[in-house]
Structure 1
């Protein structure tokens, strides 16, 4: 208890609380701008932390990250432009609610269940860090291959249109993910002699293009429908949340659990957690036909998952010094810089500092509700701006974000090209979300498959040799079989109905 008491004293210091408040505002501003990710918010804070003691330095990173992940939901809901990759999984669903005049409900769900998910992940981080870290370390390339396959399968389930269209989109994303140097041999593929393409197609500019620029192009192509926003004002964002909580409390728990497990896996992160949670939500929903039309159920799962994954990502980082995602990779550097070498001994040598970090998570997620409400209120002014004025400004922000990610015009070119492709896809009934998922997981799928094949000397049965690998492999294959049988059943039923009608 002595360490906990010291931690309270450290976190309740006026300077630390002011640092948390300032970094919270900074995180909201960064997360709300498409292209400026939570990782970028963390990276931008690192130079500032050079001049801070350990507790305010880590508290600033914790707070900015949590706020940026939530803030990405605001442009996602109002403009169909995800502020961060973690919001991409349910962007279409949230914007569909805005089109139905339910933007306040979508935003209320985002802010409340983001805070709840963050608190859940923090509790798990405090209680079960060593156990979950051991589980995460048990994953080899074989397990990660099956995890990638399972994640890609989500791309078909999340599609609101036909599975065939989703598969086309997913394969397109996987094809683009192969651009650049081969993961094993280092041979350049599909670069056409362009030096910038040797590093591959940057994911963030592509995501901005597929979602944001395609929306801008749609507004330009149909100026009459783009004259105004689909919803002109935001009402009480907390109205109806009590009834939703009573109805969907299993979804909240399931999303939190999925986010925690995925977040604890090294190399995963909030964006993958959101995709998986949304797909699972649709798969087990009693109303799957409503997904894609503005149904709040999938948003509850996904927004709970991406925030609960943040705390869980610190588990392998603190216990073993292995980054759970790109953000904790930066955090590990800050820990070393402050003399807190991550690993099991950090809980013995500096327990009060670790407990203070845990408390910073709690303070940040509690602070998310009032600051999130203020950010949403500020964002409502966007709704009053005619889209013919707003769209060029949005395009400018998209260009700034894409340039900031790549530090070159290459990012802007990728963004514009992806925007044209995304617009063409949606005009022909092909969803863009599975293509994003293919881009996210394509590199992981290829690397883990090739690495596993080298380890196994070409023996495919090696993918089922390890206990965890067997469980994930069998689960993935069962999902594929179920999806295939369901597609055949649907085809047979439609043919019978057509024959009966004829």
Structure 2
């Protein structure tokens, strides 16, 4: 009880509350702007967290990411332009509802069920994380090695439509992570004689470049057109809440559970959660033919799932230091900077800080409703912002943030290089998430691989001779077996079938 009171004291300060509200407004704005993702909003906010207290810094990231995920639904419903990738799963339904004159129904469902999904994921985080922390104390290098390997596998095969492109992205991230002296042997790798590169490639400039600068490049190369005006007036979004809760409570529960399960799995994230939940909703619906024609049922389930996954993704991040998605990959860096090193010891030595984070999650999802309503009311003006005005401001902010990460022009150079890399990857359909997770998990994988080999004097059986490590190894094998089976059962391409029939 004393710990909870201390946590309330940490959160209930004017500085923290104002920071959460400001970060929420920023996240809503970025999420509502088509093409600017929730991950980009988080990356842009990171440089400002350097100057904040630990609780305020984490609170800013939590509030910003939660708001941005929800806000991506607004341009999707009004303009058929998803603000974030997670919103793309059900954009056809929300936009068709708008065309039918029921924009308030689709947007009301997005607000309500995003908030409820976030709260459900937070409850899971509160009760699961401390228990997992006690369990994680028993972990050693073999267990962390298998968890890291499992996270990388999930990142490639669950977060990418093409496994080959996912692997390419992952190897790029692992290569970036291997640059410099920060390796078990302390040997310079891929430095090409550069003194600056001996320190490695800083994570923050890479994130800003790969998410933000790539979007600036895309806008410039496309001509920088502004957006069209909002085509409709939105009515009262609260009007149908009672009916939707009564009719779709099963879909809400199923979306919460699906999103939470996907979020806890390292490497998946809200985008995967939304698509998986929408597919499950359609599979078990009594009227699957209505999906994609302006049916709110799929919006309820997928909307709940994407925010539930956002909260639950913090479970592996806080307990194991393994990011559940790209946003928690970014926040892990913030936690380290603020001295809140992820892992089971965080729950032992800083329990009041952890409970403060839990309270911030609850607060962020509660204020999502009034702030979301306000954003919808003013969405016409927000969506009129010209890219010709917005992109230069983003570019300036990116340069300042990349420079502030290490107070050197080197950070700006890295940011610009990976801006081009990010642009080329997305233009060629190569997913960014595996690359990001490769950068974060790569050092963890290598460190625990080498540590286990040194302790066992090269005996590979030490990777599986402990009960927990053997259990994780079995899960890893089952994931690969399911992947191979899905490849074997995959439908034969039409061209090949025609060729076979001709022969």
TM-score, reference length from structure 1: 0.70
CA distance in 2, matches of 1:346, 1:35: 24
Give the 3 Å change call, closer, same or farther, for CA 216–490 of structure 1 in structure 2.
Answer: same
> 1:302 deviation in Å?
4.2
Give the aligned partner of residue 410 of structure 2.
410
Look up the match of 2:22.
26
In the alignment, which residue of structure 2 is the partner of 1:44?
51
1:384 CA displacement: 0.3
What is the Cα deviation at residue 356 of structure 1?
Answer: 8.1
- Of the structure 1 ranges 439-448 and 37-46, higher mean CA displacement relative to structure 2 is found in 37-46
Q: TM-score, normalised by structure 2?
A: 0.70
Residue 69 of structure 2 corresponds to 73
2:207 match: secondary structure: helix
Q: In the aligned structure 2, how far is the partner of 1:470 from the partner of 1:276?
A: 28
Change beyond 3 A, Cα 1:491–1:410: farther
CA separation in 2, counterparts of 1:153 and 1:165?
A: 13
Trace 1:186-197 onto structure 2 (pairs within 5 A). 186-197=186-197
Deviation track 1:6-64 (CA, whole Å, cap 9, x = no partner) reads 949x9599x93645532322333565574656665654332xx8xxxxxxxx5x56643
Distance across 2 between alignment mates of 1:22 and 1:368 = 15
SS at match of 1:190: coil
- The corresponding residue for 1:94 is 87
1:441 aligns with 2:441: yes
User: Hey, what's the Cα distance between the residues in 2 that align with 1:313 and 1:489?
Assistant: 34
Preserved contact between residue 117 and residue 308 of structure 1 (Cα < 8 Å): no
What is aligned with 2:420? 420
Cα deviation digits, residues 147-202 of structure 1 (max 9, x gap): 22222122333455422222222222222221122420111111112233223222
SS in 1 for 2:52: helix
Q: Aligned residues, how many?
A: 447
Q: Give the Cα–Cα distance (whole angstroms) in 2 for the partners of residues 187 and 380 of structure 1.
A: 55
Q: Deviations over 1:453-485 (max 9, x none)?
A: 222222222221122211211111221122123
Per the alignment, in what secondary structure is the counterpart of residue 45 of structure 1?
Answer: coil
Compared with structure 1, are the counterparts of its residues 436 and 29 closer, same or farther at alpha carbon in structure 2 (3 Å cutoff)? same
- 1:444 Cα deviation after fit: 1.8
Are the counterparts in 1 of residues 8 and 356 from structure 2 also a CA contact under 8 Å? Answer: yes
Q: 1:332 to 1:12 in 2, by over 3 A?
A: closer
Equivalent in the alignment of 1:148: 148
Judging changes above 3 Å, is the alpha-carbon distance between structure 1 residues 114 and 200 closer, same or farther for their aligned structure 2 residues?
farther
Q: CA RMSD in A?
A: 4.8
Q: Measured at CA, do residues 220 and 249 of structure 1 come closer, stay the same or move farther in structure 2, by a change above 3 Å? A: same
Residue 168 of structure 1 is matched in structure 2 by: 168
Distance 1:258 1:403, change over 3 A: same
- Quick check: 2:174–2:439 contact (8 Å CA) kept in 1? yes
In 2, the alpha carbon distance for the partners of 1:123 and 1:303 equals 12
In 2, Cα distance between equivalents of 1:119 and 1:194: 48
**396-405 or 302-311: which moved more?**
302-311
